[in-house]
Chain A
Amino acid sequence: MGTAAGLALLRHGVAQESAPATPAGGAWTFTDDKGVTVTLDAPPERLVIDVNAAAPLWDFGIRPVAVFGWNATETGDFGDAGGNIDPSTVEIVGNTSEPIQPEKVVAADPDLIITITWTPDDPDDYWSIAPEILPQVKPIAPIIALSATGSADVNTERFAELAVALGTDLSAPEIVAEKERYDAALAEFPTVTEEKSDLSVVFMYIGPEEIYVANAPDWADLNLYASLGLNIVKPDAEEGSFWEQLSLEQALKYPSDVLFNSTRPGNLTVDDLKEHPTFGQHPAIQAGQVFPWNQDFIMSYRGMADALESIMNPVSESTDATS
């Protein structure tokens, strides 16, 4: 394992963590969202990518040789987070119980490893690469991480930049069409929120024993919707906590006109909610204005167009339920 890592180090480039030096002719360079600049002798061809990063990059035409991460289940179904990835064309070098498996990564012989990060300011925190495993992964290939927090539109453009650096042509017809749809959604969203400015919206995960109310500033998509004028209810949660956790007795703590219910598994269905003794009295549920919230949205033009439409369309058809 040490020899393999040593060989990998010799063959590929080395990640520089200081200010970027002037690259030699033909060299490939990219600075990720942690401020790490990676320089390689040639554009990377063999990519090993976490599913959450592979899905948006796939929409931009990038094809990894292998994927890893919590969503990379061995059964080949990556769920919503997998987007359009074709599981049969990629190796799986990490899965739900072991998000990254260094021996398999070495066998995949990557030029570059790509993942996301929820903490751009932390130099050692990479999604799916635990701190204990990081020393084993670093020698294999340089690691690039793009941010999953902040605002989804900024992140989408960063994925586009990385895709271009990896060889995508943004003028390809499919990508152009998706960008048009995305731009149209971005333009129409504020008009809908303007028209429905009296409606309040809450995003929740409702489980059989507890409720999680999303804190919008911590989520890239919710942050974007709020900046486009969506009136999202603010729970009593600290910045960076992502959720406020409540018991089911507190179902009416945040009455709203519209309720977006996470699509993550294990929660109560809309029918369960209608019959529930406490949630059945929530104004959004009584008005029938409960809609799915896909937490595993993909930060590509296609993915964000889908996400924006999935919020905008139900809101445009909703009415005031709380007064």
Chain B
Amino acid sequence: MSLVGTPSSIAESPNDPIIGWRRASPRMLGLMLGIMAICVVAMMSLRLGSLELSTTDAWNGLFHYSADSYEQTVVRKLRLPRTIIALAVGGALGVAGAVMQGVTRNPLAGPSILGVSSGASFAITTAIFFLGRTAPGEYVWFAFAGALGASALVFMIGGAGRGGTTPIKLALAGVVISALLGAWTSTLLLLNEETMDAVRFWLAGSVAGRELDTLWSVSPFLLGGTLGCLLLGHQLNVLSMGDDSARALGMHTTRTRLIASTLVVLITGAAVSVAGPIGFIGLATPHIARSIVGPDYRWILPYSLIIGAIVLTAADVAGRLLTKPAELQVGIVTALVGAPFLIWLARQRSVAS
């Protein structure tokens, strides 16, 4: 069909429903499919596990709960919380990873390069070391504070010296702070066996055995941060053209990076304080999203949210089935699958930032 076109094609109205359908972005369709996929995965997470139960049990456990049924109790009190947590944490880590990769223009960036995970781990270990075992609900705030504190430190160090905050300096500062906090955490764990026993469960990174209340406590940060990130699509597209081009277009690159990174820290800090450090979701999800929708961050971000939620929940379900009747923690499953997956992805296509 030539650009000049015949009078009849020029006369086609954009409001023509048939044209409207064709113009409707396939990406939008993809998003809706993604949301449906989330529902499917969530239902699978209620239905499947180390205990055999029927789809009826899963359905009733959710909508017509009766405490007399052991199977329904398992669905509602064990599987439902972990499904919700997996969806929330997975989505959060996916978006955070995408933003991080956009901000640093580094395809190997993940949400934890700002020291968030090591900060949270260090804070929790220190709290237990000095205060003894406390209720899990209190760990959340220590972890969150630690996450924020470590990131602030990374920013201070990354921004010191000439040139302000550059991606390379941030990444280096993140590596240094993570290594330092990791060493201090290990020292505390070795000094006191009781701390080791209380903390090692949290440090493994898992969505099982975590209380839903901790998720509700940090949900304002999770929701606010995620919404903020989703609005950053256009800024990230501009940043991806390079700092000089971005400045030429009128963007204040340092301020944009600061805002974006703060949002990432809020999201990741909240996620890590609920579920502990879980690797690979933040790193791999944006690549999957990119392979579906291309380099436009306005689409990569919402897709990362959905894909992250699906992947983490699916990993949790896999962990329940692979070693029945025991369970594999979700952090282990993501590591097992994530590493070869990334290698495959890197070989499939040139990794675009």
Contacts and interface: CB of A to CB of B under 8 A. Distances in A.
Given A210-B327, A247-B320, A247-B326, A278 B70 contact: yes
Nearest to A208: B209
B201 interface: yes
A208 B50 contact: no
B288 to A, nearest CB: 28
Contacts of A97: 190
Interface stretch (B22-30, B36-44, B71-79, B99-107): B71-79
B190 A253 contact: no
A209 B208 contact: yes
Contacts of B296: none
Interface stretch (B117-125, B159-167, B191-199): B191-199
Contacts of B242: none
B252 interface: no
Contact of B78 (A96, A245, A246, A248): A248
Contact of A247 (B49, B192, B200, B201): B49
A322 interface: no
A249 B50 contact: yes
B325 interface: yes
Contacts of B206: 209
B33 interface: no
Interface in B45-87: 49-51, 70, 73-74, 76-79
Q: Identify whether the interface residues of B are mostly helix, strand, loop, or mixed.
A: helix
A112 B73 CA distance: 57
B50 A247 contact: yes
A76 interface: no
Given A73-B193, A247-B325, A248-B78, A208 B73 contact: no
A281 B68 CA distance: 10
Q: Identify whether the interface residues of A are mostly helix, strand, loop, or mixed.
A: loop
B331 to A, nearest CB: 11
A208 B208 CA distance: 9
Most buried by A among B49, B76, B325: B325
B329 interface: yes
A96 B189 CA distance: 11
Contacts of A278: 70, 73-74, 77-78
Given A209-B206, A209-B209, A209-B329, A249 B74 contact: yes
Interface string A253-273: 100000000000110000000
Contact of A210 (B73, B198, B326): B326
Given A250-B50, A281-B73, 8 more contacts: A96-B190, A245-B326, A247-B325, A253-B325, A265-B194, A265-B198, A278-B77, A278-B78
16 contacts: A209-B206, A209-B329, A210-B327, A246-B50, A247-B49, A247-B208, A247-B327, A248-B208, A249-B79, A250-B325, A253-B325, A265-B194, A266-B197, A278-B70, A281-B70, A281-B73
Interface of B: 49-51, 70, 73-74, 76-79, 190, 192-194, 197-198, 200-201, 206, 208-209, 320, 325-327, 329
- Please provide the 4 A-B residue pairs with the shortest distance between their CB atoms, ordered closest to farther: A277-B77, A266-B197, A249-B51, A245-B326
